[in-house]
Structure formats: C-alpha cells, structure tokens
Chains A and B, each alone.
Chain A
Amino acid sequence: GESVGLHLPTLSVQEGDNSIINCAYSNSASDYFIWYKQESGKGPQFIIDIRSNMDKRQGQRVTVLLNKTVKHLSLQIAATQPGDSAVYFCAENPKSSYKLIFGSGTRLLVRP
C-alpha cells in the first residue's frame, strides 16, 4: 500500500520493547492534546488524549506525558507489537478554538 510520509522521522524498535515518540507543540495556549495513529492507506485513528491540567494519562499499553514548561508531548507504547507499526501524529487544540493542529508525524517500525 501507499506509504504515508516517505521522509518522516523514523523510530525503529524491537518487538516487545517499549517505544517513546516525542512531539514538540507550538502554541503555549493549547490546552488539549491528542495522539493519532495512521496506518498505510487509512485515516488517522484516535489513541489517547490529555488536557493541560494533567501531566500524565494512561491507557491500554499507552501513556501520554505532557510537559507544558518546554511544550513537549510524548507517547509511550509498552511491549511494542508489529501491529503498532504506523505513523504517529500529535495534535494540539489551542484554547477556545475548535481547530486541531497536527504535527508532522513520526514513523514507528517494529522489528520482529
């Protein structure tokens, strides 16, 4: 299928290891953040979100960390599986706005 993002930063991890994907956001007024996963040939899929009054939120095998001081967001995936291979986007929502502003994405490759 078509590759999404031939020139994206790439993170390669061994199956079973933990993955950490980082994102720097631009707007200090953003108060809501979302991680999306996009597999080749598909639309983005919601993974997890976090509000600015939190610094950590956990889901199933995923954790999002927010550091507002340095405007940094990270996605941690525990026990990475081949099905986790995809492009991951962070998105920010500036306060009092209805827009989602997407970052440029990171490709995650899981080695068997």
Chain B
Amino acid sequence: EAGVAQSPRYKIIEKRQSVAFWCNPISGHATLYWYQQILGQGPKLLIQFQNNGVVDDSQLPKDRFSAERLKGVDSTLKIQPAKLEDSAVYLCASSSLGGQGAEETQYFGPGTRLLVL
C-alpha cells in the first residue's frame, strides 16, 4: 500500500512570510496527525484529526499556525507569519482506527523541511 505523502519536501522562506504544507494519508486512515520535529529532538504533536474533526490542537500555536482536513482525507498545515523558530521538519502521520488510544500504529510521511531565514 502507498505510504503517507507529503509536499513539498523542502521549503525556504523569509521570516514573516507564509507557507503551507500538504499531506495525503494512507487510504482509509481516519486519523491524521501533524508533528513538528526540531533538529535534535523527537517529534512533537501539533494537531490530531479524526476524519475531518479536530481531536486535539492544544499544542498548536494558533496565533500563527492553522490546519484543516475539510473532506476527511488530505490535510494542509499553514504558518502565517513564519518566525525563525519555526525552522523544523513537519511530519504528517496517519493511523487506521479513529478511536482514542495511540495503539493504532502511526505511519509517518517523509516530512517537509522548513528553513526560515
């Protein structure tokens, strides 16, 4: 089966600019996650969707970050305006079951590497 797809793979922008990332989860996966991974650290959950509803966005900096999953399939994550500290890898993951509990294996995409200058 095809894995989680993400684009673009790399993005370089200047601070205060806007950027958007796209994710296509594994077909049929109800749950989609966006993570931020700063160099040298483990991934940190930003937002979790179940179908097209938000389950948890408690760690999403809502003053500048937004995400949507309108049709319960693809998702976009946007940063506006970007700051230097947003430089990181943005990972998308999906899992098959929609219920609570992380015991459904999360499959990760390759990530988008963002550099903010």
Contact = CB atoms under 8 A, between A and B. Distances in A.
Interface residues of B, number: 25
Contacts of A32: 101-103
A45 B106 CA distance: 9
Interface residues on A, range: 20 to 34
B100 A105 contact: no
Nearest to B55: A98
Contact of A98 (B40, B48, B93): B48
A7 B40 contact: yes
B108 A43 contact: yes
Interface of A: 2, 4-8, 32, 34, 36, 41-46, 49, 89, 91, 93, 96-100, 102-105
SS class of chain A's interface: helix, strand, loop or mixed? Answer: loop
Interface of B: 4, 39-45, 48, 55-56, 91, 93, 100-103, 105-111, 113
Contacts of B100: 96-98
B62 to A, nearest CB: 18
B40 A5 contact: yes
Query: Most chain-A CB neighbours within 10 Å: which of B44, B105, B106, B110?
Result: B106
Contacts of A102: 41-44
B102 A98 contact: yes
